[in-house]
Structures are given as C-alpha cells and as structure tokens.
Structure 1
Amino acid sequence: MTDALDRPRRGGLWHHPEFRRLWIGESVSQFGATISQLALPLVAILIVRASTFEVGLLVTCEMAAFLLVGLPAGAWVDRMRFRAVLIVNDVLRALALASAPLAQWLGVLSMGQLYAVALVTGVCTVFFDVAYQSFVPQLVEREQLVEANAKLQASESVSQISGPSVGGVLIQALTAPYAVLLDALSFLWSASWVAAIQTRPDKPARHPDRNLRREIGEGLRFVLGNPLLRAIALCTGTANLFNSMAASVSVVLLARELSLSPGLIGLLGSVSAVGGLAGSLLARRFARRVGQGPAIWISALAVGPFAFVAPLVQRDWTLGLLAIAQAGMWLSMVVYNITQVSFRQGLCPPALLGRMNATMRFLVWGTMPVGGFLGGLLGSVIGVRQTLLVVAVGGLLSFLPVFLSPLRRMRELPSYAVAV
C-alpha cells in the first residue's frame, strides 16, 4: 500500500505522484495500441490480401494467449513484483510490433509474421494486464479505486477517440506496417514511466511448499465460489464472445465491402469512442445514484440494442448512425467496466490479486479467441452482415447473468475490509 509521502493531497489522485506516473505511461501506451488495433487488420487486408477467415484468425491469435497462459499467469505474477512485470512486457511488446515494419522493409512480410506478432503481443498483454490491475491497489487506497479506475478508463477513452483518426491518417501517409512502429515506440514510453515509479513493495515471500496447480486452484475457487464474481464473469465472457465475433468482420465490412479509406474508418472509431469518455466521467455518479449493483446490470443491458445498427450500415447517412450507436455501446461498456473492476479489486485479499485478475481474464477474455474464430468462419460461410446480425442477437442476452444475480438489488457491494 502507499506510504505517507505517496498519499494524495486534496485534489485527488492527480496529486499522487506514483499514480500519475502509471497513468501517463499507460495513457501513451493505450494511444499507440489503438493505432495497431486498426493497423494490423488493415495490413492483413490491404498489404497481404488476407481473406475474411484469415482476418478472423488474426483476431484469434491476438486473444489466444488468454486461453493458453491465462490461469498460470496469475500464479506467476503473484510471485513477482508487479512493477517489473509491467516493464518487461512493455519492452517485449515493443520488440514484437517493431518486427512487422522491419519485415515489410525487407520484403518478407506474411500472414505468418502477423500471426506471430499477434500471439507474442497477446501473451505479453496477459501478463501486463494481470500485473497492471493488481498494481493499482498497491499504489492507492482502496476507497480511491473507483477514482483511479475512472481516470485510467478516461485516458483509454481519449486514446480511442484520437487514436483511430490519427492512425487512419498515419496509415494512409506511412502505410499500415510503419504505423505499427509508433505503437512499438509507445510501449517503450510506457516502460520508461513505469520504471520511474518509486513505490516498490517487497517481493512476495517464497514459500518452500508452493505449488502452481494449488495456487491456480485458489484463484479459481475465489472467483467461482463467489456468486457475484461468477455472475460478472459469465456476463462479461458472453459479451466478449460476441464482441470479438464482430471485431473479426467489422473491418472487412468497412474496408472491403464499403470501400472506406483508412482515414474514414479511423474517424468513425474516434467519433464512437466519445461515448467511452462520457462513460468514464459518468460512472461514479451513475453508480452513486442507482447503486453499485444496479449500475452493473443496467449498463450491461444498455449495450445490446446498439449492435443492431452495424448489419444495416451502407455507404451513406447510416455511417453516422453507426458512429452514434457505437458511442452508446462504448458509454455503457465503460460504466460497466469501471464499476465491476473496482468492485473486484476492493473485494479481493491482496495476496490473491494476481490470481483473481488472471482467473477473471481467463474466463472473460478466454471467449474472445473463440469469438474471433467463429466470426471469421461465419463471415466466410454466411456473410459479414449476417454474422453481425448473429452478434447483435447474442449480445442482447449477455446481461442476464448479472440481472438474475443478487447484484440486481445491492446498492452497496461488499469489500475485503468488510468481508474479513
């Protein structure tokens, strides 16, 4: 936890030097990541001439790590200093992404190369995200977790607003492979700021009888044994399954079927991400007004109807309607994420943070490679628009686990301090 010198003065976490360093580093990294989210699929479509199925497989590779190493990552991270994990995986992601423009310069870029980049960055992201969400409670007090997550989510939303537009222009000016190089540099920037954090909790004690399988089991029992966490995992995992199905075919629809330029595709992403910024600003007030539990299920419910716009979009005024619908989705998803992540962090004992976060990531992100594969497969078989309609119908039902749980009536959610 923080020491006396690191506790924020009046004015909130902006005056907390350690949190501010983490926030700056992560904000720049998020900005770069939004560029590669657009650039990698466009590299596959425009440079390598990938099929719809191959683009879906690329999304699968990006998320496959959550199935492959999601559970053991939590046990491993709990044995290490979170700060060191963040730095190492930032650097490794930078190296992996930098290999794409190098391969393009040498004239050897292929789908195999892109699959490898996606898989390596995915594995690093697993370790980074587990350590990142576990590091925040070590930097700030538990009562400041909602504020911390709201500020971090706000910077991510700003990145999603500006990143796609800037990325689209850079892709047109530099070509997509070289735009990815900026993402690599952003991860190095993030590593430098995390390295400047001076709060360095002691490395967890090495227990002579520690056992990886037992430690993984402890994380699973903590999450699956709690009905509230179990409902959140089921809701989020279902939503992510359908969202990743949409991600695997959306760029194909915009770039190939509608023949939109990278700049216009990026602009659509930027306009829609304004909703995410609004969600980060409204989350605390919304949860305070309706209660923490209702805030989770209401925001999950609100996401679904907006997805029905995408299957109908054409190269006309409906593009504006798509941007509005995606803004509504972003707003609802950000409110949901801030509320449920803050609850999870506050509920979990410190010694289990890494395993809890890894278990949740395994359960809720492990569905994403499956969704990416299914989206690419369905897009090839029944068509892109039909696949997006399947996504809309399935996503509409994803709120049911949290609605049917005790969360529906809980204005205040339990925390670790209360639970023990």
Structure 2
Amino acid sequence: MRDFRLLLAGAAAGQVGAQVTLVALPLVAVLELKAPAFQVGLLTAAETAAFLLIGLPAGAWVDRMRKLSLMIRADVVRCLAMASVPLAAAADALTMAQLYVVALVVGVASVFFDVAHQSYLPQLLPREHLVAGNGALETVRSSAQVAGPGLGGGLVQLVGAHLAIVADAIGYAVSALFLLAIRRPEDKPEPVPGASLRKEVGEGLRFVLGHPLLRVIAGATGLGNFFTAMLMATQTVFLVRVLDLAPAAVGVMLSASAVGGLAGALCAGRLARSFGQARIIWLSAVVSGPFALLWPLSGKGAAAALFALASGVVFFGAVVYNVAQVSFRQTLCPPRLLGRMNATLRFLMWGTLPLGALVGGAVAEASGARAALWICAIGFLVVPLPLLLSSLRRMRDLPETAHPETAHPETAHPETAHPEDDVRQDAAPGHDAAPGHGESVPVA
C-alpha cells in the first residue's frame, strides 16, 4: 500500500536524524559544554519530561484532531528546534539552558507525534495486518538505529557535535515531506456533545486501568523505562569518561543496541507464532534482562565489548516485547479511544523516564557512572516480576476483545491458540517488512 510505504519512509527519515542526535546531543554537553554528570541526566530528563507533563491531555486533544496533519506540524516544530542548536553554536552562544529548552520542545512535539502516529496506523491498515505493520515500522526504526549512532559518532568526530545535529533537523524535514505525500483522506473527528477534556481523559484512564492485562503491561513497561532512562542518562558519561572512548567508538557502542533491536523486529513475528503472543511478552523480558549485568562489568579495551553485547541482547528482548504488546493494544481498543488509550499508556509508561534520568544523573554524580549502571542492571532483573505474577504467565495467546467490559482476560484458556492472531511478519502489505520515536526502548 502506497500510503503505508510513505509512513514507513517518513519514520525512517525521522529516526535516522533522531538517532544521530542520541549520540550528538549528550556529546555537545559532555565535550563542548563540559557538563557534569547530573546536568547530562537533567538533559535526558528534559527530553522525556513532556510525557509526564502533558501525556494524559495529549490523548484527548489528539482524538479531536486529524492525525496526519498533526504529525506534519510536529515534525516541523522538531526540525526548527534542532536547527537552533548549530546556529547558536556558530554564534558562540550555545548554553546548557538552550539544550534543556530544545530537548523539552522536541519532547512536547514528540508526544503529539507519537500518540497520533499510533492512532493513525489502524486507519491505514486492516486489523489483520496491524501486527505485521507494527513489525514493519519496528524494523524501519531499528534499521535507523543501527545506522544512526554510528553515523552520529562519525559526524561528531569529523565536524563536531553541534554540527552533527543538523542531520536530525534534516531528518524531521524529510519526514514531514513524506507525510505530506500521503493521499488517504482523513475526516476530522466529530465532536461529542457534552464532552470535556476532564471527561475524555478520565475515559482513557478508565479504559486502561479497567483492563487487567493493560494494567500489568503498563506497570512492567513503566518500570523498565525507569531503568532504561538511567542507562540513557549515564551511558555517554560512562563511555567517554570511564572507558575513554572516542566519539566514533561511542556511536558504534550505541549502535549495538540497535542491531539487537533490528534482529528483534525481524524475529518478533516468528517468535510470537512459536511461543504465543502472550507468552513471548514475559519470556522476552526474562531471557534478555540478565544480560544487563554486563553493562557495569565492561571495561577499557576489549572489555568494552561487554557493553555492546549487553545492549544488543537487552534491546532484542525489548523490541520483541514491544511488537507483541503494542499490537495487542491497537486490536483491543475501539477507534474513538485510540488517542486517549495510547496517551494514557504513554503517561504511565513513559512518565517514569524523566524520573529515571534524574536518578541516574544524581547517582552518577555522587557515586560514579559505574554505580548507576549497577542499579540499572539489577533493575532489569526486577522488570519481569509484574508479568510473571499476573494471569499473563498462564496464557499462550492474548484474548480478542473490543472492550474490557465484555470479556475478562483472566478467563481465557491458558493454551487457547487463535490462528487469526498469528503474528505474521511476512503478512505486511506488499513487501514492507515499525513507530517513529515510539515503541523502542524506551518501550511503550
């Protein structure tokens, strides 16, 4: 389908630029502005604070708007915000305060983009292709993550950290152009008589918190994102100041997680079909989590490879988890609630990111980056517990139900397989074989 391929292309362009900035923005703070560990953690917190601050009302706002035009506007805002960094650096006026503002603005735009993106996909694809479509978007995102950090590290080495950020601005601009080319008409949602922001936000909360499986998925994912944010806040400081790696090597290290994520996206459908869509959610976390212990065990020289190995395996499991749980959410939710459901889950799942980043930065400042990574690694061992203690552990496949009031997941037979729910990676339209900022690790 042409429009879905354009959505994929836009996701790829935006993600390549964003992954360059994943390396370049912290390096601007560490190398050019000489920021201490806590300020680097605060920068990471600013990037994700919007999910905590406006996550809930954003879903209600998105449900009132055309999703495609909202995504285009968000791309334009992100492009202009990122372009301000190299311009300020060229004028010798760049400060940490500006980096905080840019991170916060980009984060706000990303909240609206991501919620609209997840709510728009079911308008492009029929229900039976949603898992394959999410797998395709996840593959594109993971592919960009493979190339982006290495490209970012190389660009930082060649032209400097602030100039490397130009690639992010260009990526968002190209993403907006691809989205502009989508032709599928989209009607503006009809206003609901008597609706209010408070009522709509409450409806989204009741839908999510009223469903036992959504509750446990939100809890486990929020916990995982807390410790992921600790990693994001401290990894650049650890790689540069503890392992003494050059910017290009830092990019290669961060690419390892993307290689694992790409492999996870490619394998997610087959694994879900073999083990069951419900079972693979908790199994992926249980198997991959212990490898996080290799992060603090890594050292200089050849021992730095342990950091890359840990990232690759942990993010392999995270992407497999994401493809299964996001597709379940999209299938479960009625269309009129998609924006609020996605935003509510983003608030619960991603609201822990700024908190984790602040804790990571504070621990790294007080006790060192390696100590922060130890806490992060132990945390990944705890993440699967909510899943293992729920009814999810006794299921093979996730139940089909449009509303939580009409069916209760706990009553599903543990080994009941639904052939129509098989996760077929090769069932994507055409030969597109995953969302923008969205269902990566950080997971959502």
User: The TM-score by the shorter chain falls in which range?
Assistant: over 0.9
What CA distance in whole angstroms lies between the structure 2 residues aligned with 1:345 and 1:263?
39
Moved more, 403-412 or 332-341: 403-412
Cα deviation, 1:111-143, whole Å, max 9, x if unaligned, reads 000000000000001000000011111100111
Query: What RMSD in Å do the two structures reach over aligned CA positions?
Result: 1.2
What is the one-letter code of the residue matched to 1:280?
A
1:313 corresponds in structure 2 to: 298
What CA distance in whole angstroms lies between the structure 1 residues aligned with 2:377 and 2:125?
38
1:405 corresponds in structure 2 to: 390
For the residue of structure 2 that corresponds to 1:103, the secondary structure is: helix
2:218 corresponds in structure 1 to: 233
2:205 corresponds in structure 1 to: 220
User: How far apart are 1:417 and its partner, in Å?
Assistant: 5.0
1:64 corresponds in structure 2 to: 49
Query: Given the two structures, how large is their TM-score scaled by the length of structure 2?
Result: 0.89
1:134 corresponds in structure 2 to: 119
What CA distance in whole angstroms lies between the structure 2 residues aligned with 1:72 and 1:261?
42
Question: Pick from 82, 87, 92: which aligns with 1:107?
Answer: 92
User: How far apart are 1:192 and its partner, in Å?
Assistant: 0.7
Please tell me whether the aligned partners of residues 303 and 396 of structure 1 are also in contact (alpha carbons under 8 angstroms).
no
2:334 corresponds in structure 1 to: 349
1:262 partnered with 2:247 = yes
What is the one-letter code of the residue matched to 1:209?
G
Moved more, 374-383 or 359-368: 374-383
What CA distance in whole angstroms lies between the structure 2 residues aligned with 1:218 and 1:337?
24
What CA distance in whole angstroms lies between the structure 2 residues aligned with 1:59 and 1:234?
22
What CA distance in whole angstroms lies between the structure 2 residues aligned with 1:312 and 1:358?
37
1:75 partnered with 2:60 = yes
Cα deviation, 1:287-311, whole Å, max 9, x if unaligned, reads 1111111110001222321111111
2:264 corresponds in structure 1 to: 279
What CA distance in whole angstroms lies between the structure 2 residues aligned with 1:113 and 1:21?
33
1:334 partnered with 2:319 = yes
What CA distance in whole angstroms lies between the structure 1 residues aligned with 2:272 and 2:199?
36
Question: Pick from 170, 180, 190: which aligns with 2:175?
Answer: 190
User: How far apart are 1:283 and its partner, in Å?
Assistant: 0.6
2:34 corresponds in structure 1 to: 49
What CA distance in whole angstroms lies between the structure 1 residues aligned with 2:74 and 2:29?
25
Cα deviation, 1:120-167, whole Å, max 9, x if unaligned, reads 000001000000011111100111011001111111111111111111
What CA distance in whole angstroms lies between the structure 1 residues aligned with 2:386 and 2:303?
32
1:22 partnered with 2:3 = no
User: How far apart are 1:416 and its partner, in Å?
Assistant: 4.4
1:211 partnered with 2:196 = yes
1:37 partnered with 2:46 = no
1:390 corresponds in structure 2 to: 375
User: How far apart are 1:104 and its partner, in Å?
Assistant: 0.3
Which structure 1 residue ranges, 5 or more long, are not aligned? 1-15
What is the one-letter code of the residue matched to 1:55?
V
What CA distance in whole angstroms lies between the structure 2 residues aligned with 1:129 and 1:414?
26
1:159 partnered with 2:150 = no
User: How far apart are 1:401 and its partner, in Å?
Assistant: 1.1
Please tell me whether the aligned partners of residues 14 and 175 of structure 2 are also in contact (alpha carbons under 8 angstroms).
yes
Please tell me whether the aligned partners of residues 334 and 403 of structure 2 are also in contact (alpha carbons under 8 angstroms).
no
Please tell me whether the aligned partners of residues 73 and 358 of structure 1 are also in contact (alpha carbons under 8 angstroms).
yes
What CA distance in whole angstroms lies between the structure 2 residues aligned with 1:376 and 1:200?
46
User: How far apart are 1:235 and its partner, in Å?
Assistant: 0.3
1:362 corresponds in structure 2 to: 347
Please tell me whether the aligned partners of residues 348 and 415 of structure 1 are also in contact (alpha carbons under 8 angstroms).
no
Identical columns (%): 51
2:108 corresponds in structure 1 to: 123
What CA distance in whole angstroms lies between the structure 2 residues aligned with 1:307 and 1:418?
37
What CA distance in whole angstroms lies between the structure 2 residues aligned with 1:418 and 1:124?
30
What CA distance in whole angstroms lies between the structure 2 residues aligned with 1:272 and 1:247?
12
What CA distance in whole angstroms lies between the structure 2 residues aligned with 1:270 and 1:250?
13
1:296 partnered with 2:281 = yes
What CA distance in whole angstroms lies between the structure 2 residues aligned with 1:298 and 1:70?
29
What CA distance in whole angstroms lies between the structure 2 residues aligned with 1:259 and 1:324?
18
Please tell me whether the aligned partners of residues 243 and 304 of structure 2 are also in contact (alpha carbons under 8 angstroms).
no
User: How far apart are 1:207 and its partner, in Å?
Assistant: 2.6
Question: Pick from 179, 184, 198: which aligns with 2:164?
Answer: 179
What is the one-letter code of the residue matched to 1:20?
R
Please tell me whether the aligned partners of residues 279 and 397 of structure 2 are also in contact (alpha carbons under 8 angstroms).
no
1:10 corresponds in structure 2 to: none
When residues 417 and 218 of structure 1 are mapped into structure 2, their CA distance, relative to the original with a 3 A threshold, is: closer
> Which aligned runs of 4 or more in structure 1 are off by greater than 4 angstroms?
416-420
For the residue of structure 1 that corresponds to 2:165, the secondary structure is: helix
